[in-house]
Structure 1
Amino acid sequence: MYKVLKVDGSTIYLGGANKEIITVDKDSFNYENPKVGDAVQVFKNDDLVIAVKTDSAPEQNRMPEGIMRSDENVLGTSAEKVKTEKHAKPLYKKPWFIVLMVILVLGVIGSSVGGDENASSSSSNEKNNATEKTQEVKKKEVPQEYKNALNKAQLYSDTMYMSKKGIYKQLTSDAGEGFPEKAAQYAIKHVKANWKENALMKAKTYYEDMSMSKDAIYDQLVSEYGEQFTAEQAKYAIEHLD
């Protein structure tokens, strides 16, 4: 991503995020009258250079507020208790028989408790295994196009410090990456980014390289035709400029 720093006749000076400055002929722009502060994306092929204004990408009908989620059903098994009642015919006036019965009853109780614990442990293990297998299947089922969209989103965040909404527009725009909405939604959900820090890095570029005021930087950060950060993210960036 580049910004127009200076217009000198037919020569246009562009500034990149890493303080890189390049010169482009005015005829290389896809629109008339480039102005200082315009955000453009530069495409090169041998000697051919084309500068495309990024805010010329068509607006999406709406920005999804969330990322679609798929339901995950985990099947667990429950163990049944089997109670065995043992009825014995009492033998009158024989103490040894009574003692024997007490020992037998205690043994049955201990066996029942141990069986319940084993059954509960087995049920828990089966449930965990089912969850892990479901997650592995879902991971393998991610389409390659979704992965490509995620890689692009990570690149825009790490190198160009773009906002969440800005990346989504760039991914789905016909003049940008042209990914389907679902692929872009997957990318936005899984991209690893600190949006406040991205806003701060953008603000520093405007502040140090383009000598813009803090008020102007704030407007550029939150503008629908600018960086499209949230008000909270832009406020954080302005507060941490110095």
Structure 2
Amino acid sequence: MYAFDIERPTSLTDAVTALGREEAQALGGGQTLIPALKQRLAAPSVLVSLAGIAEMKGICMNDAGLLCIGGGTTHGTVAKGAVAHYPGLADLAAHIGDPAVRNRGTIGGSLANNDPSACYPAAALASGVTIVTNTRSIAADDFFEGMFTTALEEGEIITEVKFPIPEASCYIKFEQPASRFALVGVFVAKFAEGVRVAVTGASNNGVFRWTAAETALSANFSVGALDGLSVPAQDMIADLHGTAAYRAHLVAVMAKRAVAAAK
């Protein structure tokens, strides 16, 4: 580690002001950023902790029937608080990392970081969420721009995520056992207007929608609808945990399991 200053604002306004300092960076639960600091992959001179901002925490249903989750809400809180409204999302949150990670990590921090193996990006993209920041609202389809890259601008903070509720959903991931990140994870969400399928952990470009599967499942929501479908191996990550072809194969396998288990 190295020396840095830390700010602990208690309001969103103060947080935005603090992030205006030179080389300042927001700190959510720290489950991704702190390891990055230890490895010298990031070196901000100021950390702005968002943990004390009460207005960014909590879960509720709004008048439009959307599940609204504050950006500072932990994975553990989502796992417990979303189960009655969006069980597929609650189950995803319940299987992120270990209890220590779930009690510190936040949904806003996960989405802002956009780790290519994180679970929440798949939930957000498959659900067609609206990501609300301190300055604007961003559709999920416009938010994720590639590995570790999003549409967020400098100093912009995710304050809330609004989830439409699908008729049926499920997230299935093939875990890397040491990190519990998704080697490949697939989130399937069935809405009245069609099915959305998002894949994480597999692509060099980060989370993505599998449109061929969406078309097939929108016409026939069954495991058999995915027979013969595959994603191109050349777009997949290849590392010590699996080849590109292996990940491409897992995408189809996880998608079928998600459809079979969707409820």
TM-score (norm 2): 0.21
Q: Which has the higher helix share?
A: 1
Higher relative strand content: 2
Larger of the two Rg values belongs to structure: 1
